């Protein structure tokens, strides 16, 4: 069966390659290529605050050259250093101890000067490092960095750096829009920062994933964002959609808009996660589901089966029912996938069938499937689409707009 499946996938890949190379550009209202409009009002360009560590007890900091230690609230310079040798940082009863120096206050900024770079646990970062005390002796470590250098790291964190330029430029615009949208939001759970540095926001590794090529590609898209009806929207994206991107309203509260309603995707056919199978024992399935339900004081006992209650137009599961010896419970497809583990269950676009001692999940895609299909963007770029065409395809009815560069971008 595995060899037979591989042959089918190979045929599908060949057919998909032919199809996508013949696929016409389809913009809203006709074949005209997209254009870049002026900036919508209300977009404030400022440095982005990226959470590197959420509950640190100790971390190691260094600065390669001149730097200042400042109080974030007032901007007052507490000390200027020729450089900061690598050393530990911990919370004290009155503030922070950095190396062998003590500084008062519940927050500190370590600001490199004259092109110097900060290091956090050996990783290098542009911009400032902010420390904010948390509960007990914990603290947050936040990188306050200009938006464009941030993006030069993100696009290589989110896509392989050798992928086609037009795919990476599409990623840059999607990542810029996502960041600016999140910077406009107010979340009590995100006190002091805008984005995380991992896959829960956008993968950001500082200089470790920044290259001359990524800086150039970000510069080629400078200031370009996507809007819908004159406003930024959350430009979600994921690895592989499996043939059709998912209607975002089934996954995210802010995604019930036409640009995120889902489109057919011929581009990712035949790629690694286009089709997959996972088998899980009933014992493992029961354990994973009940661990997730325990946080709400719920249980289903031993899982005996699953019933799909609702699918979106893309085939992704919106809601399902978990049957168990201690009762039944309904879950969203998103919650079910996270309960089992996003690597064990690559997407919510799957069928379920019995397997010896458990269940077999036969599905397609990797990730939530909303918005840009990253693997699809690569194949679309290889087929000749430019970054604006790729973005317009995956975010239909959106408009590309350019925000003027400001002093803090």
Residues 393 and 382 in one domain: yes
Boundary (domain end) residue, out of 145, 179, 198 = 145
User: 408 in a domain, yes or no?
Assistant: no
Assess if residue 252 is contained within a domain: yes
Q: Are residue 62 and residue 140 in the same domain, yes or no?
A: yes
183 in any annotated domain: yes
Q: Do 254 and 192 belong to one domain?
A: yes
In a domain, 407, yes or no: no
Q: Is 123 part of any domain?
A: yes
Give pLDDT, residue 189. 63
Whether the pLDDT of residue 2 is over 50: the answer is no
State yes or no: pLDDT of 17 exceeds 80: no
Residue pair 97/90 in contact (Cβ under 8 Å)? The answer is yes
For residue range 104-139, what is the model confidence (pLDDT) as tens digits? 999 999 999 999 999 999 999 999 999 999 999 999
Looking at the structure, tell me whether residues 260 and 187 fall in a common domain: yes
Average per-residue pLDDT for the chain = 90
28 vs 288 pLDDT, higher one: 288
Residue 409 lies in a domain: no
- Residue 244 domain-assigned? yes
Question: Distance between CA 266 and CA 270 in Å, rounded?
Answer: 10
pLDDT for residue 9: 31
Last residue of a domain, one of 104, 124, 145: 145
Model confidence at 39, pLDDT cuts 50, 70, 90, reads confident
Quick one: 22 and 156 in the same domain? yes
pLDDT band at 34 (very low <50, low <70, confident <90, very high): confident
Residues 266 and 285 in one domain: no
Provide mean pLDDT across the span 50-57.
96
| Residue 250: per-residue pLDDT | 95
Written as six digits, the tokens of 241 are 């959609």
What is the per-residue pLDDT for 43? 86
Query: Given this model, what pLDDT does residue 346 score?
Result: 97
Q: What is the pLDDT of residues 145-155, one digit of tens each?
A: 999 999 999 99
Reported as a single tens digit per residue, the pLDDT across 313-349 is 999 999 999 999 999 999 999 999 999 999 999 999 9
Q: Identify whether 23 is part of a domain.
A: yes
- Angle formed by the axes of helices 333-340 and 282-294, to 10°? 110
Mean pLDDT of 60-68: 97
Distance CA 260, CA 330 (A): 25
**Residues 237 and 310 reside in one and the same domain:** no
Give 40's pLDDT tier (boundaries 50, 70, 90). Answer: confident
Residue among 153, 167, 224, 159 nearest 367 (CA) = 159
Q: Are 332 and 263 in the same domain?
A: no
Residue 238, pLDDT above cutoff 80: yes
Q: Considering 145, 168, 203, which residue would you say is the last residue of a domain?
A: 145
- pLDDT band at 364; cut points 50, 70, 90: very high
Q: At what angle do helices 2-22 and 374-382 cross, to 10 degrees?
A: 60
- Decide if pLDDT at 22 tops 50: no
Does one domain contain both 106 and 95?
yes
How much of the chain, in percent, has pLDDT values that exceed 90?
A: 85
pLDDT of residue 23: 45
Q: How confident is the model at residue 12 (pLDDT cuts 50, 70, 90)?
A: very low
> How many domains would you assign to the chain?
3
- Written in H, E and C, the secondary structure of the chain is CHHHHHHHHHHHHHHHHHHHHHCCCCECCECCCCCEEECCCCCCCCCEEEEEEEEECCEEEEECCCEEEECCCCCCEEEEECCEEEEEEEEECCEEEECCEEEECCEEEEEECCCCCEEECCEEECCEEEEEECCCCCEEEEEEECHHHHHHHHHHHHCCCCCCHHHHHHHHHHHHHHHHHHHHCCCHHHCCCCEECCCCCCCCCHHHHCCHHHHHHHHHCCCEEEEECCEECCCCEECECCCECECHHHCCCCCCCHHHCCCECCCCCCCCCCCEEEEEEHHHHHHHHHHHHHCCCCCCCCEEEEEEEEECCCCCEEEEEEEECCEEEEEEHHHHHHHHCCCCCCCCCEEEEEECCEEEEEECCECCCECEEHHHHHHHHHCCCCHHHHHHHHCCCCEEEECCCCCCC
Q: Give me the domain span that covers residue 328.
A: 276-363
Residue 230 sits in the same domain as residue 218? yes
274 and 381 in contact (C-beta within 8 Å)?
no
Please compute the mean of the pLDDT values over residues 291-302 and round it to a whole number.
Answer: 94
pLDDT at 396 exceeding the cut of 90? yes
Looking at the predicted structure, is the pLDDT value of residue 218 above 90?
Answer: yes
pLDDT of 406 > 60? The answer is no
Using the predicted structure, report yes or no on whether residue 246 has a pLDDT greater than 70: yes
Cα 308 to Cα 8: distance, rounded to the nearest angstrom:
27
Do 154 and 189 fall within a single domain?
A: yes
Tokens of 8: 């089918």
Q: Are residues 166 and 239 in the same domain?
A: yes
pLDDT of 26 > 80? The answer is no
Helix axes 387-394, 374-382, angle to 10 degrees: 140
User: Has residue 306 got a pLDDT over 50?
Assistant: yes
């Amino acid at each position: 069966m595995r060899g037979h499946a591989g042959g089918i996938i190979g045929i599908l890949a060949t057919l998909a390659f032919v199809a996508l190379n013949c696929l016409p550009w389809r913009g809203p209202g006709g074949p005209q290529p997209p254009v870049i409009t002026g900036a919508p009002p209300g977009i404030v360009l400022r440095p982005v605050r990226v959470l590197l560590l959420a509950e640190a007890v100790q971390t190691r900091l260094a600065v390669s050259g001149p730097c200042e230690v400042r109080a974030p609230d007032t901007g007052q310079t507490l000390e200027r250093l020729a450089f900061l040798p690598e050393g530990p940082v911990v919370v004290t009863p009155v503030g922070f101890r950095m190396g062998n120096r003590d500084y008062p206050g519940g927050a500190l900024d370590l600001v490199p000067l004259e092109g110097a770079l900060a290091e956090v646990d050996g990783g290098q970062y542009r911009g400032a490092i902010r420390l904010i005390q948390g509960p007990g002796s914990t603290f947050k470590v936040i990188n306050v960095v200009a938006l464009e250098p941030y993006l030069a790291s993100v696009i290589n964190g989110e896509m392989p750096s050798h992928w086609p330029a037009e795919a990476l430029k599409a990623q840059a615009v999607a990542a810029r829009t996502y960041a600016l949208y999140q910077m406009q939001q107010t979340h009590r759970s995100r006190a002091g920062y805008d984005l995380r540095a991992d896959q829960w926001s956008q993968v950001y590794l500082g200089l470790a994933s920044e290259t001359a090529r990524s800086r150039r590609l970000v510069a080629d898209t400078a200031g370009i964002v996507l809007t819908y009806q004159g406003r930024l929207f959350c430009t979600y994206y994921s690895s592989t959609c499996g043939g059709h991107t998912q209607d975002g309203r089934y996954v995210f509260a802010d995604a019930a808009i036409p640009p995120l309603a889902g489109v057919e995707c011929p581009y990712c056919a035949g790629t690694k996660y286009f089709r997959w199978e996972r088998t899980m024992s009933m014992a493992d399935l029961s354990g994973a589901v009940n661990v997730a339900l325990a946080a709400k004081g719920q249980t289903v006992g031993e899982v005996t089966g699953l019933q799909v209650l609702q699918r979106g137009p893309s085939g992704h599961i919106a809601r399902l029912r978990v049957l168990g010896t201690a009762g039944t419970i309904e879950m969203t497809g998103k919650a079910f996938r996270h309960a089992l583990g996003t690597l064990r269950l690559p997407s919510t676009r799957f069928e379920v069938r019995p397997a010896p001692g458990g269940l077999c999940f036969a599905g397609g895609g990797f990730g939530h499937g909303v918005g840009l299909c990253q693997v699809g963007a690569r194949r679309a770029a290889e087929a000749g689409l430019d970054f604006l065409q790729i973005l317009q395809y995956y975010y239909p009815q959106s408009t590309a707009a350019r925000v003027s560069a400001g002093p803090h971008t």
